[in-house]
A and B are shown apart, each in its own frame.
Chain A
């Protein structure tokens, strides 16, 4: 305590080590809530969303400006940083809570817009309606409040289409709480669930999780309670619990936002899990690409140690539990649990055959439970509110909610949490607001490199583990990429195959060699006709015959999940978009106009003024023509980079 004595204590309500009885009495929660309330009395609080997406959109400039205004005395407000509320399209988001006014959110804040917020709302109490997103007071839960008379027409957050169909458990605190403050987490009832669990026999904690029907959110959907039971029943003095925060799906960031926005929630979840199975030590394996998440976790862990929420004797219960943070080093396959274990042990992240399952022999040969971030994030609420509450949400075999990173060609991309059983249409058109630029929906890619593409005919699919599998996709970790008619499905399949090929660890032949063959086949399908020599045409047609068979062989024979699911992007596009493959193969035509090598660039003689710009910019010298005379593209030399089309001031270059 000596080193930290000079700085503020980590908690103003937990003086000295926390205890079970104290937490269960509700005193820390009430006092922390009162402190927060007192902070708001007579003082304006400004919250700036500084998760990774907020920072990427320039959040730090806004923060610095606010600090400067505070220093100069023009405003006198309390500044707070929050994580991401998931309305990423509108970053940078700034929330203002004035005394006597509900908390209100402003979107897409830039420095000029900030000036307007300051001069109209902070200085004059006039709400600049055009900048307001909505009233974020008591979102996602909390008592209803009255909208002030002069604010008529300003929507509540929970009534906005983007939030209306969402149900927030995992993201319940994200974006509204200061992740660096233990007291704010306590004010929302934090660590009560841990206290409650510590009073229950271990076996009963496991049973509660089993009864809730919680299934792993990392991809496979294995029942979490069952996994815990295996590890619980192992008779071994040393067990481990591991959190998988490797989030390898390229295009998904659910776990990151939870770690950044609400780190205490997953610490509490892990501590409960550790107690349940009898592990004294937990490891958090987090991507090195998430520096902010690592910073928040480290701080939260340090705070917990200081007040006895982690350590040799947590909450005075005599139970030992502590956490170690391990940074991943950038390998997709390390998300696979046996590879992850190898990586923590300091080895190359290569998967091992199972059994033995990690629950029997995992990290350092000891029984180990590995769960995803979102899985752990659900645990505190399950324990506190009870298994039957959780089991009441969702569908028959998929309980609770799922967080998705909604991205791609959708109007409102961001992070959403929806109850299981919601349809794809509701997610894309109600929550996401439809297709970007009012385009036409073509497909939704769910499950990342292991998942598949679902077409328009499956928009009514209810999102749960089992219906997604039967549709040829999978839940995966929660990436949901929306594609419009300008997206080529062959190109999407190629994209994922490129990815899995470069991420294959190389241990088993079907994956190492098979995926390389798949890539060659897809490359041939989109190859430019002129560059074909010798028997390449024949090879191309061989691809047509072999593609599906090769996919199925890899699926059935690869050693780990990476290889087994790698063909899914091809299989699902073959299933639903066969006509696109056929157009590429037989007509040498890319309907979406995406596969450049199949395009023909032409100069329209009537439109060309002969300015010579395209000729100058063409990287391959494929354009000929005299100044002031119409130009011409030599087909054999054209590399289809599209530069000419981009630079032409007269739009004289067309593609077909």
Chain B
């Protein structure tokens, strides 16, 4: 039911919500070149790409919704589900791997009980992996909501998560 594919959908006749309309207005319509930038700005605003947003974007760009869905699923950057309140990104680049990021990732997985790309049931955490954050000299590296943490050991996973949980009053 929640499947974001829009193959069965009749396109909405309602105009896009004001916030999305404001984004679309900034880009010339009927130009495929702007599809990815529009998706990027939309995701930045709403944190993910909803099915409705993709339909409106398709109309603006003038391509079938299936093409928009194709692009959105091709690129790692785009998320089709709302992320958790906090995002933990574990670097899985080569330098971090050589310094043990595989074990670190496993620690986060068992600490949070989710696999990379998933969000915890309470909606508090999304676990993500990323290839090289460009800070290989302090490998292994993890970012929590964009803040870097370097030279981590396996046991730091638990500490980081506990710290955030504490901040959330849990």
Q: Which residues of A contact B (CB under 8 A)?
A: 52-53, 55-57, 88-89, 91, 248-253, 256-257, 288-290, 326-327, 329-332, 343-349, 405, 407-409, 413-414, 445, 448, 479, 481, 483, 487, 492, 495-496, 499, 505, 619, 641-642, 646
On whether the beta carbons of A56 and B40 are closer than 8 Å, the reply is no
> Which of B92, B94, B110 lies in contact with A408, CB distance below 8 A?
B94
On whether the beta carbons of A646 and B94 are closer than 8 Å, the reply is no
Interface residues on B, range: 35 or more
Interface stretch among B12-20, B118-126, B131-139? B131-139
Contacts of A481 in B (CB 8 A): 94-95, 98
Instruction: Show 7 A/B contacts (Cβ-Cβ < 8 Å), sorted by A.
Output: A250-B92, A327-B40, A329-B78, A346-B35, A346-B61, A407-B94, A409-B99
Q: A55-B148, A57-B138 are in contact. Are A495 and B94 (CB under 8 A)?
A: yes
On whether the beta carbons of A346 and B71 are closer than 8 Å, the reply is yes
> Which of B34, B75, B94, B141 lies in contact with A329, CB distance below 8 A?
B75
With the chains together, A495 CA to B99 CA distance in Å? Answer: 13
Q: A329-B36, A346-B32 are in contact. Are A448 and B94 (CB under 8 A)?
A: yes
With the chains together, A168 CA to B155 CA distance in Å? Answer: 40
On whether the beta carbons of A346 and B94 are closer than 8 Å, the reply is no
Contacts of A479 in B (CB 8 A): 94
Contacts of B84 in A (CB 8 A): none
On whether the beta carbons of A641 and B134 are closer than 8 Å, the reply is no
On whether the beta carbons of A495 and B134 are closer than 8 Å, the reply is no
On whether the beta carbons of A289 and B37 are closer than 8 Å, the reply is no
Q: What does the 1/0 interface line of B64-95 toward A look like (CB < 8 Å)?
A: 00000011001111100000000000001111
Contacts of B31 in A (CB 8 A): 346
> Which of B33, B97, B132, B133 lies in contact with A495, CB distance below 8 A?
B97
Residue from B99, B106, B130 having most chain A Cβ neighbours under 10 A:
B99
On whether the beta carbons of A250 and B94 are closer than 8 Å, the reply is yes
Residue from B33, B37, B75, B137 having most chain A Cβ neighbours under 10 A:
B137
Q: What does the 1/0 interface line of B128-162 toward A look like (CB < 8 Å)?
A: 00111111111101000000101000110000000
With the chains together, A409 CA to B93 CA distance in Å? Answer: 14
Q: Which single residue of chain A is at the shortest CB-CB distance from B94?
A: A251
With the chains together, A448 CA to B139 CA distance in Å? Answer: 17
On whether the beta carbons of A52 and B132 are closer than 8 Å, the reply is no
Q: Which single residue of chain A is at the shortest CB-CB distance from B147?
A: A56
On whether the beta carbons of B77 and A330 are closer than 8 Å, the reply is yes
With the chains together, A290 CA to B77 CA distance in Å? Answer: 13
> From residue B94, how far is it (CB to closest CB) to chain A in Å?
3
Q: Which residues of B contact A (CB under 8 A)?
A: 31-37, 39-40, 61, 70-71, 74-78, 92-99, 102-103, 106, 110, 130-139, 141, 148, 150, 154-155
With the chains together, A641 CA to B77 CA distance in Å? Answer: 31
Contacts of A445 in B (CB 8 A): 94
Residue from B32, B61, B136 having most chain A Cβ neighbours under 10 A:
B136
With the chains together, A495 CA to B98 CA distance in Å? Answer: 10
Residue from A56, A348, A445, A499 having most chain B Cβ neighbours under 10 A:
A56
Residue from B31, B33, B132 having most chain A Cβ neighbours under 10 A:
B132
On whether the beta carbons of A290 and B134 are closer than 8 Å, the reply is yes
On whether the beta carbons of B131 and A332 are closer than 8 Å, the reply is yes
On whether the beta carbons of B136 and A413 are closer than 8 Å, the reply is yes
> From residue A363, how far is it (CB to closest CB) to chain B in Å?
10
With the chains together, A53 CA to B99 CA distance in Å? Answer: 17
With the chains together, A642 CA to B136 CA distance in Å? Answer: 25
Q: Which single residue of chain B is at the shortest CB-CB distance from A293?
A: B134
With the chains together, A413 CA to B110 CA distance in Å? Answer: 31
On whether the beta carbons of A253 and B150 are closer than 8 Å, the reply is no
> From residue B103, how far is it (CB to closest CB) to chain A in Å?
7
With the chains together, A481 CA to B32 CA distance in Å? Answer: 39
Q: A288-B40, A481-B95, A642-B103 are in contact. Are A348 and B70 (CB under 8 A)?
A: yes
Q: Which single residue of chain A is at the shortest CB-CB distance from B73?
A: A348
With the chains together, A343 CA to B40 CA distance in Å? Answer: 13
With the chains together, A257 CA to B137 CA distance in Å? Answer: 13
Q: Which single residue of chain B is at the shortest CB-CB distance from A260?
A: B134
With the chains together, A252 CA to B106 CA distance in Å? Answer: 23
Contacts of B110 in A (CB 8 A): 619, 641
With the chains together, A409 CA to B35 CA distance in Å? Answer: 42
Q: Which single residue of chain B is at the shortest CB-CB distance from A408?
A: B98
With the chains together, A89 CA to B150 CA distance in Å? Answer: 12
> From residue A222, how far is it (CB to closest CB) to chain B in Å?
24
> From residue A11, how far is it (CB to closest CB) to chain B in Å?
29
Q: A55-B148, A646-B155 are in contact. Are A346 and B36 (CB under 8 A)?
A: yes
On whether the beta carbons of B133 and A52 are closer than 8 Å, the reply is yes
With the chains together, A56 CA to B141 CA distance in Å? Answer: 9
On whether the beta carbons of A56 and B94 are closer than 8 Å, the reply is no
Residue from A330, A331, A346, A407 having most chain B Cβ neighbours under 10 A:
A346
On whether the beta carbons of A331 and B94 are closer than 8 Å, the reply is no
On whether the beta carbons of A407 and B33 are closer than 8 Å, the reply is no
Contacts of B106 in A (CB 8 A): 641
Contacts of B99 in A (CB 8 A): 408-409
